[in-house]
Chain A
């Protein structure tokens, strides 16, 4: 790791639901252009950590910074709303279940937020939509409604929708977990393309092979703590921690079954 000033900085993140601690003092620094994968068993807190980055699941304690802005600032409701809406425009998020807007066409899904929030004209929005849909290989479906797309296609549109806001960071919350196996690859390819363009990304995933080939750094989380972190070759080939070893062994066994 470099000693460069971190781009995205999570400091001492803690989160509990009543007595249940789901995040126990986690810190994570991501440099510009870095790609970090978070792996771990379900219930380990990895999605919660990801969703804390854009304050979708606010932390109980700790700070999240993007460049020199604290994302999870404590502010009176109205000011907070203004602040967070501004901040979130810089953070793209892709969900496990796509969450495309079913009442809008592919084009409208992509252009809704940029038009509304950045005041783009129809022509500008059209150009933007075409550019982003081109990138994810969905330009020929621009007039379709989500119900007529496959899961992989939906997820690619969802990525285009997030990219249309020109975010500084992209968060992927198990983006391929809900997909049929044969559709995973097309989404992975899009994510690889983003990686090549040096998009800063935090990826919660169960795709170990993908994480190994794309990421700069891997975090293994279990029971609300980061058990082990390091470069992918280290974590996947030669992990130090017994829990990491067990998890990977089980995961491999499942994958080969």
Chain B
């Protein structure tokens, strides 16, 4: 193993890791927005919205994320959507993980006993008030862990934007392999950095989960 080489290139990998983190953060934000909208649609009292929500989830979960990214980035210009690689990556991955988050959020909401909503409603609270003050605070605690699983998958999923040349960790590893012919070292370096990101995120999620526990 060529440790010297690894020491020499690792500053470039650190820079790439920052891009991976940026991608992850933005994708998480977009995913949470899409997931909330998706869950709201799936739980709507309007059949049309429920249908849209269900279609979103089954289309996204039924096709490879890589294909979705390619359609957006390579196919997009054909139908007038011109995006730079980074934006296409965030949007593609965000919309993708949003479908999984839709199910996570919806699952946490329907897991709250219906007696909770009934108790709130019988006191005279509106649907919105019962949801905001009674159902959501409880559901939010329930969804922290499973959303953590989604975020874990999403961080690893950012590697999928390498083929559309976003200069993140996986792309950087491939590029240095091209000039050094040392795939073992380069992928190892990238892998270790992924693990660090995921480990820190995991600890953060666990901390949030502990703090949000109902006394």
Chain A residues numbered 56-105 whose CB sits less than 8 Å from any CB in chain B: 56, 81, 85-86, 88-89, 91-93, 95, 97, 99-103
Instruction: Verify if A136 is at the interface (C-beta below 8 Å from B).
Output: no
B122 to A145, Cβ gap below 8 A? no
Contact in complex: B127, A99 (CB < 8 Å): no
Cβ-defined contact, A85 with B125, below 8 A: yes
Q: Which residues of B contact A99 (CB under 8 A)?
A: 113, 115-116, 118-119
Residues on B with beta carbons closer than 8 Å to the beta carbon of A161: 119, 123
Q: How large is the interface on A (under 10, 10 to 19, 20 to 34, 35 or more residues)?
A: 20 to 34
How far is A56 from B113 in the complex, measured between Cα atoms in Å? Answer: 15
Q: Is B137 an interface residue (CB 8 A)?
A: yes
Q: Is the beta-carbon distance between B119 and A89 smaller than 8 angstroms?
A: no
**B124 & A89 in contact (Cβ 8 Å cutoff):** yes
CB proximity of A90 to chain B, nearest CB, Å:
8
Within 8 A of A (CB), among B108-133: 113, 115-116, 118-127, 129, 133
Indicate if the CB atoms of A165 and B124 lie closer than 8 Å: yes
What residues on A are CB-neighbors of B138 within 8 Å? 101-103
Pick the contact of A56 from B121, B129, B134, B137 — CB < 8 Å? B121
Interface check A162, CB cutoff 8 A: yes
**Known contacts A103-B137, A112-B133, A116-B133; A165/B123 CB under 8 A:** yes
A1 CB to closest chain B CB (Å) equals 28
Cβ of B145 under 8 Å from chain A: no
- How far apart sit A196 and B138, CA to CA, in the bound complex (Å)? 37
On whether the beta carbons of B118 and A95 are closer than 8 Å, the reply is yes
Bound Cα distance A95, B125 (Å):
17
Query: A85 contacts B113, CB within 8 Å?
Result: no
Distance between Cα atoms of A124 and B214 in the complex (Å): 27
Q: Considering the chains assembled together, what is the distance between the CA atoms of A56 and B71 in angstroms? A: 48
Q: Mark B174-215, 1 if CB is under 8 A from A, else 0.
A: 000000000000000000000000000000000000000011
Return the contact of B115 from the options A89, A95, A116, A145 (Cβ within 8 A): A95
Residue B141 is within 8 A (CB to CB) of chain A in the complex: yes
Contact A113 B125, beta carbon cutoff 8 Å: yes
Which positions in A face B, CB cutoff 8 Å? Answer: 54, 56, 81, 85-86, 88-89, 91-93, 95, 97, 99-103, 112-113, 116-117, 145, 147-148, 158, 161-162, 165
